[in-house]
Chains A and B, each alone.
Chain A
């Protein structure tokens, strides 16, 4: 990835990336700025809503309770890591349905490698080796996804759906159909310990988010990603190597899933093949709530962060204020629909193309 080279004038011809009618970031109207921030505004409104609810219903506090903040942050880690990779893929106009099971595959690989190496090379070294092995193994389905999509022109939805099944089968085979317990107290500390009273996995995730935000917003790789998602023909004419970019892109999303799998296994002290299965829809939902368009060309990492926290706050908050469990399904569904409606309305309002 061309992380090292921020875009310069010499990097043109990078075509314009936003599907909106305006042709530069500085010309954004106030309306658009607000629309771009909608996920954060939504999050703020939700938190305020729960705070008022807690104060009036049982004179407690929701957001001023550090325990709640910590719990929500831990809750958001796994879906957010998947959503970061998914954001890149969705901006390019694709989707990666295999992420959930690549995460499970990485969790199982990490468990086996760490268990196998701990007696030989010691705890921290085994954890490092398990970390590297898990991400490397996770990148294999990513490479295959990338080749399918870029060289063989398989639609991403279909190609990654196939890999969904393959990764799942391989993960279960490796795990022997069960969960693999890990005995390495350093790894368990990594998954459950705290640094400056913030869980270590939250620190790791925050650092990763910042890097991925920088790559998407400040580097040529990120610019190319927007360009391909906005108009693949224009991107090709502008000289972007689409095949190479798509291959790297799906490796990137698989590595995000790999990281999520390693942190999951650290936290639960076990590698479980089905670890990421329930998270796949949540991660796509986080990206959409965060303002990315499923048609490609728009979306930001910071928006996705807000999207992931919207889902986490709703699900945690409804339990905290003690609402009937089934409302959780309904409320997350409603938030997704509202987000898409706002997106459509914004495009119409700003004179941009409305995807039919």
Chain B
């Protein structure tokens, strides 16, 4: 099993577990806190799994969890939801901001109203909080997977699968999304630093359309018959690229590494459509989001950033229950 976690995570979690959680439920009886979780979008297995983790923590701590968001990953859709939540005056807000700059002022309204803000999955400003510099350092904590690291892990998995040489490319959604941009950045950095015999071709953007991602794979392959692998930076990028490989009759010859692990990825790995998936731990993000908010509300200090880990899922471990728990489920 190739499971890895960031040391930082383990340390942060250990501190939380020992100082905060154990002694806190006593306070919970004094006042039932309400914590709002606003995801990047409501219709995504990643955030649905995050909600499950948050709910588990909320149940354990006697916190009321409110889950509200928009159907699209878009500030225009998210800000009205945020405003409505601020109007309800929850005790804390956990949010996956849909834009690094456009969400700064809307979130400051929450801060001004005395509602502490913690960002999960995505961030505002530079993602460095409580530094006293810049105008987007007011959130208390940033809890997320290190997407650059995830991209690096994808690069290593793909390099290993193709024998560390040949041509590969990144199938990505569209530019300007902090998480998918970081995955691509990490992937390219690791390829450049660690695998000199691998050539990374131009990134193809599919606008979250599996049909387009499949067609792009076929076009890239038509032009580069020595194409060896592709990194699908999100679900539809990987699903489309995998289908493109199948349509091109190259299953097994062109390796596909996927990012994220919704339930359908299990079938894709077993069918050989996808060779390996880099699973984030969204339930962990939700869990520690609620725990951090609760710790803060109870007068404890909390870390300014918590990095959650990744699990690589492939054919060898997909049936292992210790790995299967990282598959996102509703």
Residues of A within 8 A of B (CB): 58, 60, 65, 67-68, 70-72, 74-75, 78-79, 168-169, 172, 176-183, 192, 199, 264, 267-270, 272-275, 277-279, 312, 315-317, 319-322, 324-325
Cα–Cα distance between A319 and B223 once the two chains are bound (Å): 9
Cα–Cα distance between A315 and B211 once the two chains are bound (Å): 12
Chain A residues in 8 Å Cβ range of B222: 65, 67-68, 71, 320
* B264 and A273 within 8 A (CB): no
Residues of B within 8 A of A (CB): 42-45, 48, 71, 202-205, 207-212, 214-216, 218-220, 222-223, 235-236, 239-240, 243-244, 246-248, 262-264, 266-268, 271, 273, 328-330
* A312 and B203 within 8 A (CB): no
The 7 A-B residue pairs with the shortest CB-CB distance, nearest first, are A319-B219, A71-B218, A75-B215, A178-B45, A278-B209, A176-B330, A181-B264
Chain B residues in 8 Å Cβ range of A270: 239, 264, 267
* A322 and B215 within 8 A (CB): no
Q: A267-B243, A278-B209, A325-B202 are in contact. Are A178 and B264 (CB under 8 A)?
A: yes
- Least CB distance, A266 to chain B, in whole angstroms: 11
Could you list some 21 contacts between A and B, CB below 8 A? A67-B222, A169-B71, A172-B71, A178-B44, A178-B330, A180-B263, A181-B267, A268-B210, A269-B267, A269-B268, A269-B271, A269-B273, A274-B43, A274-B208, A277-B208, A315-B212, A316-B218, A317-B219, A319-B215, A319-B219, A322-B202
Contact of B215 among A178, A272, A315 (CB under 8 A): A315
Cα–Cα distance between A72 and B42 once the two chains are bound (Å): 33
- Least CB distance, A108 to chain B, in whole angstroms: 12
Q: A74-B247, A178-B45 are in contact. Are A325 and B215 (CB under 8 A)?
A: no
* A325 and B45 within 8 A (CB): no
Chain B residues in 8 Å Cβ range of A275: 210
Cα–Cα distance between A182 and B273 once the two chains are bound (Å): 14
- Residue of B243, B266, B328 contacting most chain A CB atoms (<10 Å): B243
Which residue on chain A has the smallest CB distance to residue B215? Answer: A75
Which residue on chain B has the smallest CB distance to residue A79? Answer: B211
Which residue on chain B has the smallest CB distance to residue A54? Answer: B223
* B264 and A75 within 8 A (CB): no
Which residue on chain B has the smallest CB distance to residue A173? Answer: B43
Cα–Cα distance between A183 and B330 once the two chains are bound (Å): 19
Chain B residues in 8 Å Cβ range of A68: 218-219, 222
Cα–Cα distance between A75 and B216 once the two chains are bound (Å): 9
Q: A74-B247, A75-B211, A177-B44 are in contact. Are A320 and B203 (CB under 8 A)?
A: no
* A279 and B263 within 8 A (CB): no
Contact of A178 among B218, B243, B262, B271 (CB under 8 A): B262
Q: A67-B218, A78-B211, A272-B210 are in contact. Are A319 and B204 (CB under 8 A)?
A: yes
- Residue of B205, B222, B273, B329 contacting most chain A CB atoms (<10 Å): B222
Which residue on chain B has the smallest CB distance to residue A318? Answer: B219
- Least CB distance, A316 to chain B, in whole angstroms: 5
- Least CB distance, B122 to chain A, in whole angstroms: 18
- Residue of B208, B219, B273 contacting most chain A CB atoms (<10 Å): B219
Q: A177-B44, A179-B262, A325-B202 are in contact. Are A192 and B247 (CB under 8 A)?
A: yes
- Residue of B42, B71, B236, B247 contacting most chain A CB atoms (<10 Å): B247
Cα–Cα distance between A147 and B43 once the two chains are bound (Å): 29
Chain B residues in 8 Å Cβ range of A178: 44-45, 48, 262-264, 328-330
- Least CB distance, A262 to chain B, in whole angstroms: 14
* A325 and B204 within 8 A (CB): yes
Q: A65-B222, A268-B239 are in contact. Are A72 and B215 (CB under 8 A)?
A: yes
Cα–Cα distance between A320 and B219 once the two chains are bound (Å): 5
Cα–Cα distance between A277 and B44 once the two chains are bound (Å): 14
* A177 and B215 within 8 A (CB): no
Cα–Cα distance between A322 and B169 once the two chains are bound (Å): 12
Cα–Cα distance between A78 and B243 once the two chains are bound (Å): 14
Cα–Cα distance between A60 and B202 once the two chains are bound (Å): 19
- Least CB distance, A332 to chain B, in whole angstroms: 12
Cα–Cα distance between A234 and B143 once the two chains are bound (Å): 64
Cα–Cα distance between A72 and B212 once the two chains are bound (Å): 10
Cα–Cα distance between A186 and B271 once the two chains are bound (Å): 14
Chain B residues in 8 Å Cβ range of A325: 202-205
Chain B residues in 8 Å Cβ range of A179: 45, 235, 239, 262-264
* A268 and B223 within 8 A (CB): no
Cα–Cα distance between A322 and B263 once the two chains are bound (Å): 34
Which residue on chain B has the smallest CB distance to residue A324? Answer: B202
Q: A168-B71, A312-B215 are in contact. Are A273 and B43 (CB under 8 A)?
A: yes
Chain B residues in 8 Å Cβ range of A74: 214-215, 218, 247
Q: A177-B43, A181-B267, A274-B208 are in contact. Are A319 and B220 (CB under 8 A)?
A: yes
- Residue of B203, B262, B266 contacting most chain A CB atoms (<10 Å): B262
* A279 and B211 within 8 A (CB): yes
Cα–Cα distance between A312 and B209 once the two chains are bound (Å): 13
Contact of B264 among A65, A71, A180, A316 (CB under 8 A): A180
- Residue of A273, A277, A278 contacting most chain B CB atoms (<10 Å): A278
* A60 and B223 within 8 A (CB): yes
Cα–Cα distance between A268 and B42 once the two chains are bound (Å): 23
Chain A residues in 8 Å Cβ range of B202: 322, 324-325
* B43 and A278 within 8 A (CB): no
Cα–Cα distance between A268 and B244 once the two chains are bound (Å): 10
* A71 and B71 within 8 A (CB): no
Chain A residues in 8 Å Cβ range of B244: 71
* B330 and A177 within 8 A (CB): yes
Q: A74-B215, A278-B212, A319-B220 are in contact. List 11 more A-B contacts (CB 8 A).
A: A67-B218, A68-B219, A74-B214, A74-B218, A74-B247, A172-B71, A178-B329, A179-B239, A179-B264, A316-B215, A316-B216
